[in-house]
């Protein structure tokens, strides 16, 4: 029975791994609320604010479908040596106010040169496979002109691919093949990014998984057929002030990873002063999303997104849900709507 169980284990694993050979571009998880935390796709944003930015997210994709993808992440980044002349998080002396004040647009000035540090930890599961990744990031910010900032960033970390044991019911939990497959293999990871920003727009580009790696489960060559591939991102957004209290931020992101075709996300976010925002997006795979978020205090904000698709997946799943919590630590002036909050 043990040999039969082991054979079925390797057979199921083969079917689980093989699709990734042809769909390598799906290795990186999808996020609906990346517009609220571009740092997860671009290390150049590390240290962009005057405070410690912490975000945690949980995403359940195609809820109700067995083996559906599930992703969790924790990110943190902060500035080093950031000295704004006016000593406030918004570059002007208005404690407790946000980006909708008229003086903000008039008095805005590029940041002084400074560094940014941070880290990202992510846990991603899909079917019988799981991937854990971590990255330490560094960024350098400087003023390109009196108002325009640029930043360059790099992330160095690891990827660990293994078996998601929660999807199996083995006869022998101590089977060496099962134990080794759960442990997985660690591979190096490298990400780079560029970010240019003013008070009312941003343009960015980044590459993740810059070092293609073969991932092996249990060191067996039969399963060394899943390869990581570079993922390319380009994004841009612009802020329109409809009134002094309401802003509209349309943005887009283009993503590419061979052999998948180019994918484009179109987003729009309507923010009401420093209190709450609503938004929506359309992904070129016929996926629609809605987003709702609140600034509960100068310390805490929360947002929720729901995706639904017009494909056949809509008939077998309950859509995709994503929730994100954010903390702004060391926010000395208690700004509700931080300067770079898009």
Per residue in 14-36, pLDDT (tens digit) is: 333 333 333 333 468 888 899 89
Please indicate, yes or no, if residue 278 is contained in any of the structural domains.
no
Within-domain flag for 142: yes
CA angle 71, 77, 79 (to 5 degrees): 165
In a domain, 16, yes or no: no
Per-residue CA distances from 299 to 39, 273, 302, 312, 331 (Å): 19, 17, 11, 41, 7
State residue 311's pLDDT score.
62
Domain of residue 198: give its range: 31-214+226-235+294-329
The pLDDT value given to residue 292: 95
Question: Residue 106 domain-assigned?
Answer: yes
State the pLDDT at residue 2.
41
Which pLDDT tens digit goes with each residue over 118-153?
999 999 887 667 889 999 999 999 998 888 999 999
- Per-residue model confidence (pLDDT) at position 25: 37
In a domain, 6, yes or no: no
How many structural domains is the chain composed of?
A: 1
Classify residue 277: in a domain, yes or no: no
Q: What is the pLDDT of residue 299?
A: 86
Taking the C-alpha atoms of residue 116 and residue 48, their distance in angstroms, rounded to an integer, is: 7
Q: Residue 257 falls within a domain, yes or no? A: no
Residue 14 lies in a domain: no
What predicted TM-score, i.e. pTM, was given to this entire model? 0.79
pLDDT of amino acid 90: 38
Q: What angle do CA 335, 337, 339 make, to 5 degrees?
A: 90
Which segments in the chain show pLDDT lower than 50? 1-26, 85-102, 177-182, 219-223
């Amino acid at each position: 029975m043990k040999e039969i169980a082991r054979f079925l284990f390797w057979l199921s694993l083969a079917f689980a791994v093989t699709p990734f050979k042809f769909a390598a571009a799906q290795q990186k998880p999808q996020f609906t609320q990346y517009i609220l935390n571009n740092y997860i796709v671009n290390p150049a944003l590390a240290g962009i604010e005057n405070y410690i930015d912490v975000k945690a997210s949980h995403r359940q994709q195609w809820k109700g479908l067995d083996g559906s993808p599930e992703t969790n992440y924790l990110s943190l980044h902060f500035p080093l040596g950031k000295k704004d002349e006016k000593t406030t998080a918004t570059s002007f002396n208005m404690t407790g106010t946000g980006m909708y004040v008229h003086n903000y647009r008039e008095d805005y000035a590029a940041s002084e040169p400074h560094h940014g540090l941070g880290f990202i930890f992510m846990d991603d599961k899909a079917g019988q496979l799981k991937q854990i990744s971590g990255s330490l990031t560094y960024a350098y910010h400087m003023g390109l002109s009196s108002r325009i900032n640029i930043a360059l960033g790099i992330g160095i970390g690891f990827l660990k691919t293994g078996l998601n044991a929660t999807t199996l019911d083995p006869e022998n939990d101590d089977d060496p093949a099962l134990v080794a497959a759960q442990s997985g293999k660690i591979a190096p990871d490298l990400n780079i990014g560029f970010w240019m920003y003013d008070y009312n727009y941003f343009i960015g580009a980044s590459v993740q998984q810059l070092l293609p790696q073969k991932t092996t489960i249990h060191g067996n060559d039969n399963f060394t057929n899943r390869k990581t591939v570079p993922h390319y991102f380009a994004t841009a957004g612009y802020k329109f002030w409809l009134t002094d209290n309401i802003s509209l931020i349309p943005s887009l992101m283009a993503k590419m990873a061979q052999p998948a075709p180019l994918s484009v996300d179109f987003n729009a976010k309507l923010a009401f002063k420093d209190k709450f925002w609503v938004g929506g997006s359309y992904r070129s795979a016929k996926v629609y999303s809605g987003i709702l978020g609140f600034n509960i205090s100068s310390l805490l904000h929360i947002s929720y997104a729901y995706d639904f698709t017009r494909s056949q997946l809509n008939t077998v799943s309950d859509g995709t849900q994503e929730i994100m919590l954010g903390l702004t630590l060391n926010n000395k002036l208690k700004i509700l709507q931080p300067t770079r909050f898009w």
